[in-house]
Amino acid sequence: MLIIGPPGSGKGTQAERISARLGVVAISTGDIFRAHVEGASPLGVKAKKYMDSGDFVPDSVTNKMVRDRLSQSDVSGGFLLDGYPRTAAQVDYLDEVLAEACQKLDAVLQLTTEDEELVTRLLRRAKETGRSDDTETVIRHRLDLYHEQTEAVVARYAERGILTTVDGMGSVDEVTNRAVLAGPRQLSRD
Ligand code: ADP
């Protein structure tokens, strides 16, 4: 399963909850990149300048990282990817990786929230956690990239008939409940 949404839509929080319900591992490309930056690995050094300016890390770097992560043993029972794919080329790449592994996507969940609410949430988060990419200019750039590139990704999955869109406004519980009600049937099993 994939979860897709603009920065600040709460996709990381919902990914944790939904993956726990499904009993599958949650994989966040943003978290993996941040761990590399923290550890100052060669990948982290490469990714940092893109992340700090709110740009996408190049597909060549991101795709390889995702391929490596998806080859690990904890993924064999399924996975929830958060933050990937964000570009058309990443969609094609993920298709290839999954086809090679004889796996397929069951469901894609999109969270929507209005831009001004997202900016407000991210500026609030900036005060609490100080993420280096949560400044207003960088936030607006990340939102622009979402509209320019990632909405086309969402459209591809809509064409395949595996997309569910859920309103990301409201409390964390409200959004989870909406996802459970509207999302893939595996989610509503107790
Ligand atoms: P957000 O969705 O709030 O922008 P994430 O934590 O998902 O935050 O990602 C943080 C940063 O990591 C992105 O701005 C980008 O630089 C990088 N990143 C994460 N996922 C990808 C991806 N699939 N492709 C390219 N860059 C990515």
Residue 188: predicted pLDDT: 80
Nearest CA to ligand 1 atom 3: 7
- Atom of ligand 1 at shortest range from CA of 66: 23
Nearest 5°: phi and psi at 26?
Answer: -95, 130
Query: Is 142 labeled as catalytic in the residue annotation?
Result: yes
Enumerate residue ranges in the chain where pLDDT < 70.
189-190
Nearest 5°: phi and psi at 119?
Answer: -60, -45
pTM for this structure? Answer: 0.94
pLDDT tens across 139-159, in order? 999 999 999 999 999 999 999
pLDDT tens across 81-102, in order? 999 999 999 999 999 999 999 9
Residue 190: predicted pLDDT: 61
* Cα 98 to Cα 75: distance, rounded to the nearest angstrom: 12
Residue 131: predicted pLDDT: 83
Spatial CA neighbour of 2 closest among 57, 83, 118: 83
Query: Is 48 labeled as catalytic in the residue annotation?
Result: no
Kind and range of the H or E run holding 159: helix 151-159
